[in-house]
Amino acid sequence: MSETKEKEPLNFIEEIVQQDLESGKHQQVQLRFPPEPNGFLHIGHAKAICLNFGIAEKYGGKCNLRFDDTNPLKEETRYVENIKKDIQWLGFDWEEREYFASDYFQQLYDWAVELIKKGKAYVDDSTAEEIAQLKGTPTQPGSPGPYRDRSVEENLSLFEGMKNGDYEPGSRVLRAKIDLANPNMHLRDPLMYRIIHTPHHRTGDAWKIYPMYDWAHGQSDSLETVTHSLCSLEFEVHRPLYEWFIEQLGLFPSRQYEFSRLNFNYTVLSKRKLRRLVEEGHVNGWDDPRMPTLSGLRRRGYTPASIRNMVDRVGVTKQENIQDIALLEYFIREDLNKTAPRVMVVLDPLKVVITNWPEDKVEDMEVINNPEDPEGGSRTMPFGRELYIERTDFLEDAPKKFFRLSVGREVRFKGAYIIKCEGFTKDADGNIAELQCTYDPETRSGQDTSGKKVKGTIHWVSAAHAKDVEVRMYDRLFSAEDPTQDENKEGDEQKDFLYYLNPDSLTVVEHAKAEPSLANVETGGQFQFMRKGYFVVDPDSSAEKLVFNRTVGLRDSWAKKNKKK
C-alpha cells in the first residue's frame, strides 16, 4: 500500500494566497514589511516579519522592506539601521527591494492635488479639537465644518501654501471629502496631510507637509504592486478607507488582510511605552536585555530559531489573545539545550579544602561539553586541593532529603570524585567561611571502582584556576501579568504601567567564579551554566572582565502548565 503524505495545514492567509495563485488572480505574490523608523522592533513585529517574508518564500514571491517614514518628529536614521539588522538577524532578506514612503512624497502630493481637483479633498483650518467634535460619535453623524465647501481653486492654493511652508504647524490640514454620516469613523473626512516644519531624516527641509498613515500606506502598496497587504487587526476598520483611496485614483488594486497581533503577558509592546522606559531611564537603552525588543532579546541570548519556532507555534489567526511569556522561554530553552556547551560557574562561592589532597597536585578531569550533542566533544577541568562550590550546596543543619553537602554527607563533584564533608569554619560574623572535606580516590568519574552510590551531584571550579566574571541575572521587567491593568481606572485605583516595574528585574553578581575554559570566549557565545540556566556573553565584556547575561533558567514552567491542562 502506498504511503500518503499528509498535507501541511495552511493558515487563513496562506489559503487566500494559494487560491489567488491557483485562480490566476495573481501570477506572483508581492508582500511588504512596513515598519515605522521611530524606535526598535519588538517581539510583536517578529510575527509580521515571519509572516510576510515567510509567505513570499513559501510561494516563490517577493517581500519588500518599506519604511513608513512619514513623521519626522519621531524618526531617526539609527532606527532604520537597527530595523535592517533585526530582520537580517531573524534570517530574512529583502534583497535590493528597500523602499521608503518618503520615496513617494512627490507622487503622493500629486495624487492629493488630483483628489482636490475632483472635489474629493479640501483644506480645513479647524483646530484638532473642533475637527474631533464635528466628526460626531459612533452613534451620531458628524457635521460639516465651515471649510468643507471651499472651492477647488482655493483648496489648491492653500494646499500649495502648506507645501511651501507658508503656514504654521497645526493651522491647517488636508482632509479627504467622503461621508460625515458613515458609521465607520475613519471615513468621516479623514486627515491626509498635516504641517510639520521639522527636517526629515532623508529629505531634509524639502517638505513642510507630511502624509498621514492612511493616505501614504495604501498608495505606497499600489506603487509597489503589493498583492497582499498584511496588517494587524486594529487596521481592519481602516480597510474601507484603504480601498476608497485606491478606487478614487484608479491605482493597482492592492488588498489588505488583517491578522491578530502577537502579545505577551508580563510585558508591554506599545512603542510609546517602550520609549518611556528608555527615555526615563528605567532600562539601559532599547537593547536592554529586559526589553521585549528584538535587539534586547538578541543581547539576552535569544536565537533567531527560537523566535521563528515560537511564531510558528502561535500560528496566524484573527483571534486576539495574550501569550504566556513562558512559551517564548520554552522555545529558547529547547533550542539552547541542543547546542549550548555545559560549563561550571559558581555564582555565590564557598571555599572547599580537600584535606587529603596533596597541596601542589592538579589533575585534569574530562567533562562532556553537551550530552545532547554527540559531536560536542569534551574538555578538561583542573581539580586541585582548593575548590569553590555554591554556598547553597552546603547546610549546617540539613534536613534528611537534602542531597548535597553537610557534615558527614557525601556528594559527587561533577566529572570528578565523591567528596565527604568532615567539618567547617566560620568567620567573625558567624557565616560559613570554609568547608573541610576528603575525597575518595577510588571514585573518579569514568573510573569508579568503589561501588558507592550518592544521590547528589554538584558543580565546582578550582580556586587556583577560576576566572572572576560578572553575571547579570535578568528576570521579567514587570511583576504583573498585565502592567496596564489599572490605567483606565479612576481615582486612587488608577496606576501607570510603571507602577508594576519589577525592582528585581536585574541582579548583578560581580565576582562569580568560572572555570578556566571560559577565559577567552567571544561576545555572543552561549552556554549552559550547570544547574543555573542558559547564559550569553554580553557586548560589555572586555579582555579584563567577562560579562554574562542570563537568558533563561533551566526550569520549564510553560511545559508543566500545558501538562496540567
Q: Nearest Cα to 307, choosing from 33, 89, 53?
A: 89
Largest separation between any pair of C-alpha atoms in the chain: 101
Judge contact between 350 and 393, C-beta under 8 A. yes
Catalytic residue among 177, 271, 404, 420: 271
- Bridge partners of residue 501, in order along the sequence: 478
Name the percent of the chain in helix, strand, coil, to the closest 5: 30, 25, 45
Q: Nearest Cα to 189, choosing from 131, 105, 242, 236?
A: 131
For 492, half-sphere exposure in the C-beta direction (CA atoms, 13 angstrom radius) is 0
User: Hey, what's the cell of 531?
Assistant: 544547574
Catalytic residue among 85, 150, 261, 391: 261
Judge contact between 111 and 104, C-beta under 8 A. no
For 429, half-sphere exposure in the C-beta direction (CA atoms, 13 angstrom radius) is 3
CA distance 95 to 104: 20
- Bridge partners of residue 64, in order along the sequence: 32
Long-range contacts formed by 420-426: CB under 8 A, 24+ apart: 421/394, 422/355, 424/394, 424/396
Catalytic residue among 32, 36, 172, 175: 36
- The verdict on whether 8 is a catalytic residue reads no
Q: Are strands 209-211 and 191-195 parallel, antiparallel or unpaired?
A: antiparallel
275 to 100, 202, 295, 503: CA distances (angstroms): 23, 22, 14, 19
- The verdict on whether 36 is a catalytic residue reads yes
DSSP 3-state assignment of 562? helix
**Residue 77 burial (CB count, 10 A):** 11
The end-to-end CA distance of the chain, in Å, is: 38
CA distance 19 to 25: 8
- The verdict on whether 320 is a catalytic residue reads no
Judge contact between 409 and 419, C-beta under 8 A. no
CA distance 109 to 162: 11
- What torsion, rounded to 10 degrees, do the Cα atoms 289, 293, 294, 300 define? 10
Catalytic residues: 36, 261, 271
